[in-house]
Structure formats: C-alpha cells, structure tokens
C-alpha cells in the first residue's frame, strides 16, 4: 500500500473516510478524550513509515497529537434544512478526503467534528489505507460510541482486550505466511493463474487514459429489486455457493460483453482477519486477489457461477501473498497509465454499510454490494456519469435475466432493453438512407448523353471525349463484344491503363450486358492466368502495349485500338431498335473485383447493376455533382474505388479528368493536372492525400471544392493538415470491396478537429449497418462490435466459393426476408449520436507481451510528436516468435528517432513503444494508391538500439552510479533501461531513497516508470531540482549535482 501511494504522489485515492455519528449529549472535550483513548489502544493509529536503503520501516510512536478540527461557522449545521445539511456534511467529508498524507509523518489520520443536527455530532475521520481497512473503521466507530456512552451513563467503558498489536501480527505473518517456501508456492500459483491474461481491459471508455492518471471519482448508487435479491439467494443455495459467486458472475458477464473480451481479471479485496486475535484490532489487514474468469467457452450462467466459486476458493488459498509481490513477480515494468494486473474491482460486503468514495476511485470501474444496496464507482477522467449509470442499469438487467434463467449461456444474457435495441437498429438503418433504385449505370449515362451530347465526358492532357463520342464508341465496342458471346452474367476482363480507352471499354461491357473485370497487366503471369480461369472470362480487352504481356490462356484478346472496334461510324454503332437495347437489369452482374485471399489465391467479388447504380446516384446527390464539375480519376483501375471517380461523374453529366499512369507516383504532376483542368472533386486514399497535402502545388488547386477519401483509415491530423492548406470539404468513406465501394460516409468540415481517427459516419443510401457481438446481438452504444453491412450495397458473394460466401454473407435477422449481411471483419463502435467510429480489424489486432494493441493508437500518438507529419506502425517478426513494433514516420530532417521514442514513452506503455523508428521522406504506395507495407524497409535495430554511452552530466553520473550499486550491474550507460537491467518498483524505491538523500530533495518513485533510461531520469532530476530549488541558481544546482555524483 505504501508503494502504491508513492507511485501516485498527491493522489487521495488511498484516503479512507468515515463519518461517525455520536450523541450530542457528549461535549467536544469528551469526544476528544474518547478519540485519544482509541488512539492509545491501537498502535496503527500512531504509526508512520520510514523508507531507507535497507527497505521500508514501520515506526510506532509513543504519542501523537490528537487534534479534532472544528470551525463553528462551517461545522455547525443546526438550523439548516435536512437536505442541505446532508449536502454540506458530504462537502466537509469530501474536502477532508482530498488532502494528502505524508507517510513518514504521524499521525496518518485527521479528524473534524461537525454538529450535524441538534441531537447528533458527526466525527469525520480520514485515514490513510496503510494504517486501516474498512473493518478498522467499524472498530473505531464502535469504541468511540462505547466510550461516549460510558461517559453519559457514568460507568467504565466495556472495551475488548487487545492481546496483540498490529506489529505483532505483521511479525507473525512474516514468519508463518510469508516464508520463502510459502511465498514460492503462492507466487507459482499466481504466475500460472494469470499467464496470458489480458493486461488491460477492453471496456470502452469515454475518454482515453492520461499519461498521469487521475483518481478523481464518483459513484452511482442503486438498489437490487426484492425479487432479484431473492433469486440471487435461492440460486446460491441451490448451487451451494456463496451469494458472492452469483453477484460476481453477473459483473463478469457484463464486463466481458461490454468489452468483447471473455477473459478478464477483477480485483477482489480479502479481509485477511482469519485469526481471532485480530478481530478487534485497527490496522491494514486487507489484501487484494486478482480473480480471473474466462468465459471463452460460453458457459451457462450457473456454470460460470461454479467457475467463480472454484476460482475464489483457489485465490483465497493463495491469497496471503501481498498483491504488490504478485505485481513485482508478473509485471515488473509498470505502465504508468494503467494499473497492473486488473483495472476492475468488485467488493461484496454483506451486513456492512457502503461507504462513499468521497470523490476518489482506486479502480477504473468497480462494483460494491451490501445486501440490496449497490454502487458503481468510476473514475471521472475515463467515464461520464451517464455511462456509469448505464453500467449500473445493465448490471441489474444482467443479474435479473441470469438469475431468472441460469441455464442460459452468458452470450445470450440480454444487455439491452427493447427500446435501446430498437434505437441501435435505427442507427444502422436511418430513414434518410433510401435506396436509389430502378435504373442501371449504362442506362443513366445514355440518358445523360441524350440530354447533352456535346458536353465533355472525359478529358486528358492530350484531348477530350464528348458524351456523344463516348457512347457511340461504347456501342461500337459493345457490338463486337456481343459477337464474342458477351451478354448478361458473362465476364469481360479489361487489361488497360487508366485512359479514355479504358472508360470506353468499361462502358461498352456494361452496354453489352456483361460484367467487367479490371485486370492489372503488370501482375505476375500466374496470377493473371488464375484470375481469368477463375472468373470464367469470355474475352479480354487489351491494347497493343498490354496484350502481348498477357499469358496465353486460351481466352480471346481484343485490341481496343483496332479501328474496327473503335470507329464511331462502324456498322454496329448505327444499329437502332432492339440492337441498342440494354440487356442487363438491376439484378445482373456489373463487375467483378479480385482481392487477396487468405489462402494465397485471390478471390473475386461480384457486384450487381442495382448496387452500382445506387452508389453512383447517392454519390452525385451527396456531393452535388453536375455539368460544371470535373472529377479527377487517378486510382488504379483494378481497385474498386476507381468506380468513385468514374460512374457518379458520368451519371451526373460531369467531366472525368484522367491522370495518366506512370511508373512512379508524382504528386506534383497530379496536382498540376488538377489545377490546369480546374478539378472540383478529388477522390483519393489517405496515403496519397498525405503526399498531396505536403506538396507546394496544392495551393494552385483553387477550383477544388471537395475531397473524398476511403480505402484506409483517415487520421484527424491529416484532415486538419488539409484544412490548414486548403479549406475544402472533406468526406471520409468506408466500405469493403464486397459492398459496392462504400456503405458509410462522414463529413469533415474544415473547422472540425478529431483527436484520433476520423469517424466513418452513417450508412449511405440503401445501406444498413449493425454492430453485433459474437452471438449476433446488437452491442450497446460505446461498446466495440463486429461491423455487419446489409442492404442494397451488399454484393453477391465470391463466385465459385460457396463455402466462403456462406461464411461471410449471412442471413440478415433484422432486414426483410431473404436479405443478407456481409460480415466485414472490422470492429467499430457507435457514438451516442449514431455515428460509427472505426476501431480496427478483428483479425489484425496484435498482442505484445499479452496485451492487445491497436496499431492505429500508436500511429495517432506518433503524429503528435514534434516534427512528425504522418506515421505508420507495423509488426515485424524478426525471428520466429519475436514480434517487434516498428514505426515509420514522415518527419522533419531534425527529428531524432531516439527523441521520438522518448516522447512516445511519455504517452504510451512501454509495450506499445516501437522498437525502432524509421524516418522516411515519403511513404511507398501500391498501384492502388494505398500504403505499400511490403516496401517499408526493415530497421537496423543495432543502429537504433542502445549501445553503451558513458554518462556525461553530473546528474547522469549520479543516476548511473546508484543504479549500478543497487542493481548489481558493473557498468550502466545513459541509454540503459532500468527494467532491462532487472529493476522493479521495490528496487526503484531503494534507489529513490539514495538519490533523495544524495540531493537532499525528494525523488518520486513514479519517475522510474515514465523515465526508464539513465538519460531520461537524469533530465527529470535536473528539472525537479530547478522546480524545487527556486532560490538556487542554475550554477549552484549544478554544483550540488556534481557534489552528489562524487
């Protein structure tokens, strides 16, 4: 407890408050005498703690001052209305609780006397948890009341004999329960029990954790309904377990379901008063055990209760070892942002009144129960009151449902009431998301050409193509395709670069009734051959440049440059009537896109005309596309996002400006074309947008009004950088290939700021989006769920792969009969306003040292470092089983990787700090414009590691010398890591004492966990001395350091 307090300097989290009612028939002097007698009886109330080089000593003082504060103006509540008097008394308790104790100065308690009413005093006593536990307050309460009653009755006080004192018990515990053999046995149990346990819970918080966590807290009281309390008792009796197991089981179900993490660890206090001699003794006997529950097998609730009962029995058998020793054994390297082992608490106190936390919360989230009384205690820096209230309400719902039907599996225990469930389903299918149905894209483009045949449809730097020419050339090519047997449900591969000819070919395939398959001619021949065979392509459209590069597969190859295929005046182009009818309807195939497959073979995704038309019309409507707009086409044609740049523009009568393909990506050339051609709408991906934002040419794009991004996660930093360079509207689109380009969108006005990633927004026209848990039920607002997409955008599936299609495309239980949902494999959460926030891939979360990590979180913190414009983080397996995080940054020339890692360490736990930082001038991109992970070079760990560097400054020499002595290391360099050298918090305490003595200034222990190298700690000490010794000059402070360093 002392060490925990030192790691949280200034925090009142370990202050315990009690308001003790005393009769007004006793005067202040008698109350003071009564308190003096209680203090004289219990050594713990006269104890302080003295750290030394040899460890921590408990000091029992013969006498301590017994003072009771009382301010007649503030502490006399007689004549005040009862409700206001209660509020004022609470405020006095709160004020008392917030003042910190210095643990080497006795007494470690303080008292204030408040006249609560005409008939009653309230003695507000605050004590530090190192000297007392909850039972101790009950003892103090009882003894004070007995002594006061004896004064009133004129008789001797009847107080129990104290055969031993707390120090006697501490010696007995050391000699009997903490022997080396017993410790070894118990620590082995905890090592095995907690192996692989999650280090941090995944219950979503309203705010991110701070580097220096706040222990400010509040509480939500509630009451168990009588029928529920009766069922808890009945179930416990039937299963022959304690009520604790039932109540804890419901808490575990709730936390596991909210966080989507069935394996969790909860801290449970154990009284530690097994010996009768300590029953009436004041002191700190409580220990905390880390109770682990694993619901991965989806047990029934009564099976879970049995599991809890068994785990509790084992934990109590090995519960004598102090939790701090378990921490040092399992988590020597402390993350200052989060408590080790557990962050949840649970306490069942039958027959004991619940005591308020008075503005503090030791755990991030805790549940306390006594009889039918309950309260949820939470840290206000992490959770809103509304969230805590929802957790309390859901706990009651879980407990009610689970005890009503204990044979129900935990995944089926309802968290939501019908109204909440309906609201979440409404989030996923808002009424404004009406589908744009009834026509196909070629039908809409032909209609546009009939309205404005001379309008320019396609422009390049070398010329233009009108809508009339586009349509006539498409009809001409379509006629030849029909001659090759192309019609509805037939696939035509297109192996052409980004060009007007490509657009003609795509439209021609659709006009002919077929579905197009974009084919990248630069892919390996084996992959091209597989794709053609797997898709069943009828014909390939190519050019003189791309055709010869294609492998011989037996599929006919037509050269689109053949005059017979491209001339507007060909016989086929002038055919009227039935020959010019569009054979494909909304339910026919429009295109097939191949993406990487988990088996190593690419898989095709089939999209229908109705889905494509719905997207094109929604896009044009949302962004107000019209004849005056010019939309840039710069994405790879084999990427489904090329459809964003093409079809909405042609359907709306806009002009498509084609950026010609080149061997490498040239941001200046792209922006130059956009500026010269007056591009108004720019679709792209975030990686390319970063290159564009960093280019000086961006300022020339004065006609640009709208940027649309998708395909990758968009960072708030990039959105802000674009807004600073060019105040255009930015929209973030989200959608897998299987759902017709996009299923949701979020507008990002230039004035909006996003601390992390930009949300992915709300469903687009005809789409339905649901966040579901493993059992297929909607998750509450704020909870992480598996994102499922439904409605018009959902594709057919994977042609020729019925098993994979059935696995990913599942029946939609919330939609019309026969409708389907696509399981995206992505994780997201709803905000209270019904906006989706992307969390990450369910299958790409990485585990480092057993902790589940989102790479996007590290990237967000990297972008906050000085000189860093953008960042990407990936996991590299350097040797089997050796996974390392590597950060790649676009940074200013002066940015130093070591300084960046130091900055990260101030905001992230050590396991999330990349092993190496690699500065880059630009990110490599794929042909689709996305970040090319395979092109990111492996770091030189030796160069980026920690070679020996001798201490240079006086502070560095002092720290290195003390580390070497305490850690037993021969040589310590300035970049050596305290924990890598074998350090832990107990050794940190010894080193802190030595440094404090040498400098005659307190060096807090918590610095060791945020400044882990000699250099970092030395810099922190220099800052500390500058702050603490205001009247000492910089030269004097340096001389003091020199003297201390020897």
Name the residue ranges covered by the structural domains of the chain.
Answer: 2-159, 194-415, 845-945, 954-1045
Joined tokens for residue 925: 């991109």
CATH of domain 845-945: 3.30.300.30
Angle separating helix axes 467-483 and 500-512, nearest 10 degrees? 60
Sheet holding 344-348, edge to edge: 217-223, 373-379, 365-370, 344-348, 263-270, 287-294
| Confidence band for 220, pLDDT divided at 50, 70 and 90 | very high
pLDDT band (50, 70, 90) for residue 347: very high
Considering only CA atoms, which of 185, 130, 198, 208 is closest in space to residue 340?
198
**pLDDT of the residue at 311:** 95
Residue 800 has pLDDT above 60, yes or no: yes
Confidence category of residue 883, pLDDT binned at 50, 70, 90: low
**Mean pLDDT, range 708-726, rounded to an integer:** 92
Residue at token pair 């149905």: 437
User: Alpha carbon of 728 to those of 623, 625, 697, 731: distances in Å?
Assistant: 12, 15, 15, 10
793/559 Cα distance (integer angstroms): 33
Nearest of 697, 820, 836 to residue 757 by alpha carbon:
836
Whether the CB-CB separation of 533 and 608 falls below 8 Å is answered with no
- Asked if the peptide bond before residue 107 counts as cis, ω within 30 degrees of 0, the response is yes
Which residues are bridge partners to 345 per DSSP?
A: 267, 366
Q: What is the mean pLDDT of residues 402-413?
A: 96
DSSP string, 235-286: HHHHHT--HHHHHHHHHHHHHHHHHT-SEEEEEEEE----SGGGTT--S---
Pairing state of beta strands 655-658 and 630-633?
parallel
Give strand pairing partners of 811. 820
User: How much is the average pLDDT of 563-591?
Assistant: 66
Residue identified by tokens 């001797």 is 156
Please give the Cα distance from 769 to 790 (Å, whole number): 6
Assess contact for 770 and 744: CB atoms under 8 A.
no
Distances (CA, A) of 466 to 471, 630, 657, 810: 9, 13, 12, 43
Strands of 491-494's sheet in order across? 557-559, 539-542, 491-494, 515-518, 589-595, 603-608
Instruction: Name the token pair of 618.
Output: 């929604």
Rg, Å, the chain Cα set: 35
Please state whether beta strands 287-294 and 365-370 pair in parallel, antiparallel, or not at all (unpaired): unpaired
- Give 415-439 pLDDT, tens digit per residue: 998 898 999 998 988 766 667 778 8
Q: Which of 102-106, 495-499, 971-975 holds the top average pLDDT?
A: 495-499
Structural tokens at position 962 = 């003390």
Mean pLDDT of 933-959: 74
CB distance 275 to 125 below 8 Å: no
Distance of alpha carbon 692 from alpha carbon 634, whole angstroms: 12
CATH topology for 954-1045?
1.10.1200
HSE at residue 770, side-chain half, CA atoms within 13 A, is 26
List, as one string, the DSSP characters of 619-641: HHHHTT--TT-EEEE-S-TTSTT
Average pLDDT, the chain: 87
User: What token pair was written down for 410?
Assistant: 């935990």
Task: Answer yes or no: are the C-beta atoms of 206 and 382 closer than 8 Å.
Answer: yes
d(CA 950, CA 876): 31
Kindly give the pairing relationship between strand 120-128 and strand 15-23: antiparallel
The second-level CATH assignment, the architecture, of 2-159 is 2-Layer Sandwich (3.30)
CATH number of the domain at 194-415, out of 3.40.50.300, 3.30.559.30, 3.30.390.10, 3.90.1170.40?
3.30.559.30
Query: Distances in Å between the alpha carbon of 675 and those of 687, 698, 900?
Result: 20, 8, 36
Supply 1040's token pair: 């003091």
Whether 703 shows a pLDDT value over 60: the answer reads yes
Q: What contacts 143, CB < 8 A, 6 or more positions away?
A: 34, 37, 38, 41, 157, 159
What's phi and psi for 464, nearest 5 deg? Answer: -145, 160
Measure the CA–CA gap between 756 and 732, rounded to whole angstroms.
14
Structure confidence at residue 4 as a pLDDT band (50, 70, 90): low
Question: Would you call 46 helix, strand, or coil by DSSP?
Answer: helix
Segment (H or E) for 542:
strand 539-542
| Residue with tokens 């493993």, as numbered in its chain | 774
Q: What angle do CA 784, 251, 298 make, to 5 degrees?
A: 65
Say if residues 636 and 520 touch (Cβ distance below 8 Å): yes
Q: What is the pLDDT of residue 598?
A: 56
Q: How confident is the model at residue 211 (pLDDT cuts 50, 70, 90)?
A: low
Other CB atoms within 10 Å distance of the CB of residue 902:
18
Given pLDDT bands bounded at 50, 70 and 90, which one contains residue 484?
Answer: very high
Please give the Cα distance from 227 to 404 (Å, whole number): 10
Contacts of residue 969, defined as CB under 8 A and 6 or more positions apart, other chains included, come to 963, 981, 982
For residues 859 and 83, give the distance between their C-alpha atoms in angstroms, rounded to a whole number: 51
**Shared fold status for 845-945 and 954-1045:** no
Residue 337: pLDDT band with limits 50, 70, 90: confident
> What is residue 572's predicted lDDT score, i.e. its pLDDT?
45
% of the chain at pLDDT higher than 90: 50
In this structure, what is the dihedral angle of CA atoms 526, 528, 534, 539, given to the nearest 10 degrees?
-140
Average pLDDT estimate for 132-159: 91
Our CA dihedral for 284, 285, 286, 288, rounded to 10 degrees, sits at 110
The confidence score (pLDDT) of residue 568 equals 45
pLDDT at 850: 41
Range from 271-275, 878-882, 1022-1026 carrying the lowest mean pLDDT: 878-882
CA distance 954 to 961: 11
Q: What was the pLDDT predicted at 1033?
A: 59
Residues of the chain with pLDDT > 70: what percent? 90
Residue-level pLDDT at 791 = 94
- Among 996, 1017, 1003, smallest CA distance to 905 is for 1017
Q: What is the pTM of this model?
A: 0.76
Q: Which residue has the higher pLDDT, 557 or 575?
A: 557
Cα–Cα distance between 128 and 1012 in angstroms, integer?
29
Comparing CA positions, the residue from 480, 548, 492 lying closest to residue 519 is 492
How far, in Å, CA of 398 to CA of 413, rounded? 6
Q: Where are the alpha helices (DSSP H) in 69-110?
A: 82-98
pLDDT band at 57 (very low <50, low <70, confident <90, very high): confident
Cα–Cα distance, 296 to 274 (Å, whole number)? 34
């Amino acid at each position: 407890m002392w060490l925990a307090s030192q790691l949280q300097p200034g925090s009142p989290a370990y202050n315990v408050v009690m308001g003790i009612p005393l009769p007004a028939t006793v005067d202040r002097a008698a109350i003071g005498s009564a308190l003096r007698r209680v203090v004289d009886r219990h050594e713990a109330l006269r104890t302080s703690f003295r750290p030394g080089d040899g460890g921590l000593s408990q000091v029992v003082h013969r006498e301590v001052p017994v003072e009771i504060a009382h301010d007649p103006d503030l502490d006399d509540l007689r004549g005040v209305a009862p409700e206001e008097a209660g509020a004022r008394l609470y405020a006095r308790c709160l004020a008392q609780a917030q003042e910190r104790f210095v643990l080497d100065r006795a007494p470690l308690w303080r008292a204030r006397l408040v006249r609560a009413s005409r008939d009653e005093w309230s003695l507000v006593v605050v004590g530090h948890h190192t000297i007392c536990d909850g039972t101790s307050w009950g003892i103090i309460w009882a003894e004070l009341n007995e002594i006061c009653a004896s004064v009133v009755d004129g008789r001797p006080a009847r107080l129990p004999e104290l055969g031993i004192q707390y120090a006697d018990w501490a010696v007995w515990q050391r000699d009997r329960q903490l022997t080396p053999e017993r410790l070894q046995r118990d620590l082995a149990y905890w090592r095995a029990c907690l192996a692989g346990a999650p280090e941090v819970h995944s219950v979503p918080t309203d705010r991110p954790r701070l580097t220096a966590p706040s222990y400010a807290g509040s509480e939500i009281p509630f009451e168990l309904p009588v029928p529920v309390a009766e069922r808890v008792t009945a179930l416990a009796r039937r299963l022959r377990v304690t009520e604790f197991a039932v109540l804890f089981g419901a808490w575990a179900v709730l936390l596991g379901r909210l966080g989507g993490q069935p394996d969790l660890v909860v801290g449970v206090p154990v009284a530690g008063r097994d010996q009768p001699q300590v029953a009436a003794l004041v002191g700190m006997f409580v220990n905390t055990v880390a109770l682990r529950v694993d619901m991965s097998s989806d047990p029934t609730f009564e099976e879970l209760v049995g599991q809890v009962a068994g785990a509790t029995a084992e934990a109590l058998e090995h519960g004598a070892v102090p939790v701090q020793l378990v921490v040092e054994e399992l988590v020597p390297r402390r993350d200052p942002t989060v408590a080790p082992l557990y962050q949840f608490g649970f306490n069942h106190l039958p027959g004991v009144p619940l005591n308020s936390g008075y503005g503090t919360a030791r755990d991030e989230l805790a549940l306390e129960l006594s009889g039918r009384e309950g309260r949820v205690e939470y840290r206000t820096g992490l959770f809103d009151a509304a969230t805590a209230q929802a957790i309390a309400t859901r706990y009651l719902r879980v407990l009610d449902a689970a005890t009503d039907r204990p044979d129900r599996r935990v995944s089926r225990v309802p968290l939501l009431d019908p109204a909440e469930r309906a609201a979440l389903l409404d989030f996923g299918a808002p009424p404004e998301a009406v589908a744009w149905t009834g026509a196909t894209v070629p039908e809409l483009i032909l209609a546009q050409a009939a309205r404005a045949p001379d309008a320019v449809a396609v422009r390049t730097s070398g010329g233009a193509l009108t809508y009339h020419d586009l349509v006539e050339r498409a009809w001409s090519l379509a006629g030849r395709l029909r001659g090759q047997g192309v019609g509805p449900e037939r696939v035509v591969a297109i192996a052409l670069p980004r060009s007007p000819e490509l657009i003609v070919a795509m439209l021609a395939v659709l006009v002919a009734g077929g579905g197009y398959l974009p084919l990248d001619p630069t892919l390996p021949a084996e992959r091209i051959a597989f794709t053609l065979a797997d898709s069943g392509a009828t014909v390939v459209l190519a050019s003189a440049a791309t055709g010869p590069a294609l492998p011989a597969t037996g599929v006919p190859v037509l050269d689109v440059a053949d005059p017979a295929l491209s001339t507007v005046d060909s016989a086929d182009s002038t055919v009227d009537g039935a020959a010019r009818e569009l054979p494909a309807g909304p339910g026919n195939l429009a295109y097939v896109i191949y993406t990487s497959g988990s088996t190593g073979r690419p898989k095709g995704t089939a999209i229908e005309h109705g889905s494509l038309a719905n997207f094109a019309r929604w896009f044009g409507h949302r962004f107000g596309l019209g004849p005056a707009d010019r939309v840039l086409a710069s994405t790879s044609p084999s990427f489904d996002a090329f459809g964003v740049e093409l079809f909405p523009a042609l359907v709306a009568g806009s002009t498509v400006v084609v950026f010609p393909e080149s061997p490498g990506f040239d941001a200046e050339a792209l922006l130059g074309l956009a500026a010269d051609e007056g591009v108004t709408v720019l679709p792209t991906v975030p990686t390319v947008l970063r290159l564009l934002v960093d280019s000086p040419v961006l300022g020339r794009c004065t006609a640009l009004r709208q940027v649309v991004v998708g395909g990758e996660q968009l960072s708030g930093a990039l959105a802000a950088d674009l807004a600073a360079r060019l105040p255009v509207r930015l929209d973030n689109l989200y959608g897998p290939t299987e759902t017709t380009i996009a299923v949701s969108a979020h507008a990002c006005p230039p004035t909006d700021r996003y601390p992390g990633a930009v949300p992915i927004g709300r469903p687009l026209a005809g789409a339905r989006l649901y966040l579901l848990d493993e059992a297929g039920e909607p998750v509450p607002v704020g909870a992480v769920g598996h994102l499922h997409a439904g409605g018009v955008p959902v594709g057919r599936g994977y042609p020729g792969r019925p098993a994979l299609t059935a696995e990913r495309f599942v029946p939609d239980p919330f939609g019309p009969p026969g409708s389907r949902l696509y399981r995206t494999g992505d994780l997201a959460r709803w905000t209270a306003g019904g906006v989706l926030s992307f969390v990450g891939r369910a299958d790409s979360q990485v585990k480092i040292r057993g902790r589940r990590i989102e790479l996007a979180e590290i990237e967000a913190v990297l972008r906050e470092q000085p000189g860093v414009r953008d960042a990407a983080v990936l996991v590299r397996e350097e040797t089997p089983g050796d996974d390392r995080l590597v950060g790649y940054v676009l940074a200013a020339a002066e940015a130093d990787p070591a300084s960046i890692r130091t900055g990260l360490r101030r905001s992230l736990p050590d396991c999330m700090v990349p092993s190496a930082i690699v500065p880059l001038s630009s990110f490599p991109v794929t042909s689709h414009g996305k970040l090319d992970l395979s092109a990111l070079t492996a770091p030189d760990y030796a160069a980026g590691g920690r070679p020996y560097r001798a201490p240079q400054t006086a502070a560095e020499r002092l720290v290195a010398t003390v580390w070497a002595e305490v850690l037993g290391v021969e040589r310590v360099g300035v970049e050596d890591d305290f924990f890598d050298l074998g350090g832990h918090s107990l050794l940190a305490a010894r080193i802190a004492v030595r440094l404090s003595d040498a400098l005659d200034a307190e060096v807090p222990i918590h610095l060791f966990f945020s400044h882990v190298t000699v250099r970092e700690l030395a810099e922190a000490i220099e800052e500390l001395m500058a702050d603490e010794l205001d009247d000492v000059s910089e030269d004097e402070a340096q001389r003091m350091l020199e003297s201390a360093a020897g």
